[in-house]
Structure 1
Amino acid sequence: MAWEVFNVLGTIAFAISGAIVAREEEFDILGVYVLGFVTAFGGGIIRNLLIGIPVTAIWGQNTLFTVALVSMTLVFFAPSKWIAGFKRWIDFFDAIGLAAFAIQGAFYAHNMQHPMSAILIAGVLTGIGGGIIRDVLAGRQPLVLKDEIYAFWAILAGLAIGFDLVGQDWQLYVLFLVVVILRLMSLRYRWRLPKRALSDHEFRA
């Protein structure tokens, strides 16, 4: 049950996120669907490539494709004033998608009895892969790799699953809420990982 719930939550959240970005960039209806689909399914495709699942498995997810299509269509036909309101929620949708797909990806690799390294990579790439592709196609710099604590929360989810700290459905739901809350808190309080430019002489947050 948890597996299916996280699949649906992540798909809806990232499809809406991709469609909103496409509306912001004034893409046509095809652009909205393309950006929404790659955001919703891009991370899963990358994960499948890395952990040995046939990429063609993505075509068996008819229900998720329908869910994504409906979500993107609603965003495309929504009045612009509604989109302005949705934009304030885009970080919330991203947080939901990140948590749902990071847990789903890590759990997938764990069930296939892959080592911890594969579990972490599967969780991270499933959680952030679609968002990175979305930003690149929209001509934006992926902030998840520069200014924000984003992928770190996917790593946290992967560690919890890899070390068997969670396994039952209710534990996975708790982990989901924890990741969403931590992601939103990192935005609210502007938490940053240390970084260093070529011109810097000291690390800075």
Structure 2
Amino acid sequence: MTWEVFTVIGTIAFAISGAIVAMEEEYDLFGIYILGMITAFGGGAIRNLLIGVPVSALWEQGEFFTIAILSITAVILFPQNLLRHWPVWGNFFDAIGLSAFAIQGALYAAGMGHPLSAVVVAAVLTGSGGGLVRDVLAQRKPALLRDEVYGVWAALAGVFIALSDSQSPVHLILLFLLITTLRVLSYKFSWHLPKRTVKL
């Protein structure tokens, strides 16, 4: 049940995030749906490839495809006078999707008995994979690779789940709120990781 709840939250959040990016890039309606769907399910597909789950497992999640389509449709019908707030909402939904899918991916890998390293990788790829594909298709610099802290928060969720003896709904909800808050703060205050550059 907990896994499904985080899947629903992540699917809605990333479908909306992808749709918002598509609108910002002035995609047509078909493009909005395509980018929204890819953002919602891209991370799960990448995760499945790397931890040995058939990618075809995605096609068994018909109810989540319906949820994603309805979420994208709701964004398309969003009141025009609120469009100016979409960049802020886009980052907020992206933070929710990152947190929800990172936890979902970590739970998925932990439930299969994978070690700490695999749980962390599953959390990072599930949490940021859809956003990575979205940004590449929209010809944007991927959030996972840019200066603002992004993938680190997903990795933190993976470490917590892999090392925690308790995965109760209360603890998972608190973790979800923590990761979402950290991602929002890192965007709002432009937190950066150290950089190492090479000048040629």
TM-score w.r.t. length of structure 2: 0.96
- Alignment pair present for 1:87 and 2:90: no
Q: Which residue does 1:16 correspond to in 2?
A: 16
**C-alpha offsets along residues 100-134 of structure 1, whole Å, 9 cap, x if unaligned?**
00000011000000111110110000000000100
Q: Which residue does 1:203 correspond to in 2?
A: none
1-structure distance, mates of 2:143, 2:49: 24
Q: Which residue does 2:43 correspond to in 1?
A: 43
**SS at 2:144's partner residue?**
helix
Any residues of structure 2 matched to 1:1-205 within 5 Å, and which? 1-199=1-199
Number of residue pairs aligned between Structure 1 and Structure 2: 200
Question: How many angstroms does 1:196 deviate by?
Answer: 1.9
**SS at 1:89's partner residue?**
helix
Question: How many angstroms does 1:147 deviate by?
Answer: 1.2
The amino acid that maps onto 1:16 is: I
CA contact (8 A) 1:160 1:166 kept: no
1-structure distance, mates of 2:166, 2:97: 19
Deviation >6 Å, runs of 4+: none
Question: How many angstroms does 1:87 deviate by?
Answer: 2.4
Name whichever of 45-54 and 139-148 sits farther off.
139-148
Cα RMSD over matched residues? Answer: 1.3
The amino acid that maps onto 2:86 is: F
